Structure 1
Amino acid sequence: MKTIKTFVAVLALTSAFGAFAGQTVTATGSTLDDTEAKIAAQAQEMGASYKITSAFNRDQVHMTAELSK
């Protein structure tokens, strides 16, 4: 029984970390700094670091970033 509980715990932890890997977040704002601040806040909320993967500006700035633990 203890082995089964250990296996289930390991499986749950593995699934949680696997689901996080490569997660992306997006934000929009009026300036690059404003939009990056929104990305940084999302990353901090999730306890992660981020790498901006794309950004473009038309009427607003749209930014996408990849999170990593």
Structure 2
Amino acid sequence: MTDQPPTARHRWLKRTLVTGAFAVPMLALAGGSASAAELTPIAEYLDSTVASTSASLVSALATLLGVS
């Protein structure tokens, strides 16, 4: 048996993946082993993911608050 419920484990996994998604490109850029052209697709993906998540959260909060 595990000490953590599945939801806590999933949140930890998501946080780890997001942290890695930011840390790996930053370390590569700081180390000089990656160029901007290599990091652009990662930045675009993160930008679209954050925008989509933000829009979903705003929509959900608007629904919960009864604001349209």
Q: TM-score, normalised by structure 2?
A: 0.36
Which structure dedicates a bigger proportion of its chain to strand?
1
Greater relative contact order: 1 or 2 (C-alpha under 8 angstroms, separation 6 or more)? Answer: 1
